[in-house]
Structure 1
Amino acid sequence: MPKALKLLILLGLIWGSGYSIARFAVLHGVTPLGYAFCQSLGPALFLLALCLKRKAPLPFQPKILIYFLVTGLLGVALPNTTMYITAAHLPAGLLAVVVNTVPLMMYPLARLFKLERFYWSRLFAVLLGFAGLMLMTLPGAHGVLGYHTAWIFIALISPLCFALCALFAAHFRPEKPSSLVLSMGMLMSSAILISPVLLTSQHFFEPHVAHGAGILAVIIEIILSSIGYILFFDVLDNAGPVFYSFVACVVSITGLIWGFIFFDETLNTISTTAVVLILIALYLVTRKINAYRANPRHDED
């Protein structure tokens, strides 16, 4: 097995586990805001230490600091907080699939901002994915999982924010700082943005809930997230961003597996069909984007 594929699978396993760990943490007394703050500050400090070790210059120009704030808001603070709020109300496996529909959000947004040409094949993939999402909202799709339809729509805020962040980050990315420095700045900005809201709420933990297991989950996820960022840069170095874009498919599948392992989550016929449609759509839209990047002059149907 190629090294890049091994790294991609390992990264998918680590990031896919995050949805089950988040659900476990919020069900064991950690508030969504508290969890979001820890998952911003913890990896940010780890990446800062890595930057200092590699002697990477830390930028303080106003333009770059604004870039950090916008990416921190759209790429971490808003989507992660939303994700952790919904983690208590949606099965971890389905949450992993919904949150990783970012590629399906990217194409319509890119078209809206006139950053992409129109292709019927990509439109078909997007419509297929949204058909899967709509299937998830049917009453019969809930089965033994027992979630409320509204939480599916709330969870979609996360991939929408991630997609907006990706478009902003690609369009306004500064030239000098490395990806490592930009990731550190994004996470640190997210922690700064979340902290006043967390202090105002005065609730890191839910009152009257034993939260020892929740704290352990927070620590485990900080460690796994930090390892995930190392693997993220390794995948980019070994295979490039085109290969990395398949991570959404891998994380969706591993998220379902971890949901079964941690919470014994099983899907009925309707929800299984929905997941399959979304995974096919993710593969199609990712493959089409990769083909276009490899040959920009290639015309699709």
Structure 2
Amino acid sequence: MKFLWDSAPGLLVVTGGLLGLTLPFGKIATAAGVSAMIWALVISLGAGGVLLCALLLRGQRIRLTPHRLRYFVVTAAVSYAFPNLLMFSAIPHLGAGYTGIMFTLSPVVTLVFSILLGVRRPNLLGVVGIAVGFLGAVMVAGTRGEAGQPAEFFWVAVGLLIPVSLAAGNIYRTVDWPEGTGPIELAVGSHLASAALLLCGIFTLQGSGSLALVGGVPMVVVGQV
């Protein structure tokens, strides 16, 4: 088991597989009437809750400082709440597979941002990666959408904002990572902050009664968490 967590290929398969499951789970939930905002809440509250339990079982706790609070709120908005809201809003219009392709463009956009902002120096591999990624984005934007119907430009644009938001979050976490803080602590704080932001949005825009729709897909919720 230790070899798996210390192995780049192992982490790639595990992380990719778990991220990949998020898309069909989200499609099932939104098809059952659960709004994109509520499903994004399920993801952040579930992840934050599970990781908080893991943190407490290790005898650790979340340490709140102005720097960490800033990190939690910015990461929550840019890396979790906003891209998840975009993703699950787009899935009914673009399909899970099409939206998933948009999601996979985030490493290329991250590379572009890191070069433009001077976080990373350009090299041949990076330039080739950007070129291939740009070509892929053009091909995706020009393909057909859900059920063989042309994808509406608006929803294609919404889908393309997903990797932009994720890339912005990647860059932000790199430059503003609180010193001496572990990844689980930051993940807990960021996911719970995301859940708080989404909950405020749900109460304001949809009302607390909309949360009852989650009860219609209990096994999907368990699978997602």
**Which residue does 1:155 correspond to in 2?**
159
Aligned residues: 219
| Matched residue type, 2:103 | V
Cα distance in structure 2, aligned partners of 1:205 and 1:93: 31
* TM superposition shift of 1:152: 2.2
Q: Does 1:60 align with 2:64?
A: yes
Matching residue of 2:217: 214
1:41 counterpart residue number: 45
Q: 1:132-158 CA deviation, whole Å, 9 max, x = no partner?
A: 2212222x6448432324322211212
Divergent runs of 4+, >4 A: 203-207, 210-213
Deviation readout 1:141-189 (Å, 9 max, x if unpaired): 4484323243222112121111111111111111222111011011011
Deviation at 1:87, TM superposition (A): 1.4
| CA gap 1:143/1:215 in 2 versus in 1, 3 angstroms | closer
Q: Which runs of 5+ in 2 are unaligned?
A: none
Look up the match of 2:12.
8
In the other structure, the counterpart of 1:25 is 29
Name the residue aligned to 1:114: 118
Equivalent residue of 1:88, what SS? helix
Kept after mapping to 1: 8 A contact 2:22/2:224: yes
RMSD, aligned α-carbons = 2.4
User: Between the two proteins, what is the percent identity of the paired residues?
Assistant: 23
The TM-score normalised by the length of structure 1 is: 0.66
Could you state the TM-score of these two structures normalised by the residue count of structure 2?
Answer: 0.87
Contact 2:101 2:140 (C-alpha < 8 Å) held by counterparts: no
The alpha-carbon distance between structure 1 residues 143 and 213, as it changes in their structure 2 partners (threshold 3 A), is: closer
Q: Which residue of 1 aligns with 2:90?
A: 86
Match of 1:101 among 93, 96, 105: 105
Structure 1 window deviating more from structure 2 (84-93 vs 4-13): it is 4-13
Distance verdict in 2 for CA 1:221–1:204, change over 3 Å: farther
- 1:30–1:204 CA contact under 8 A, matched in 2: no
Instruction: Indicate if the aligned counterparts of 2:27 and 2:96 stay in contact, CA closer than 8 A.
Output: yes
Larger Rg over CA atoms: 1
CA spacing shift, 1:220–1:187, aligned 2, 3 Å: same
Distance 1:143 1:220 in 2: 24
For structure 1, list consecutive stretches of 5 or more residues without a partner in the other structure. 223-301
Amino acid across the alignment from 1:180: I
Q: Deviations over 1:61-95 (max 9, x none)?
A: 11111111111111101111111111111121221
- List aligned pairs for 1:248-259, cutoff 5 A: none
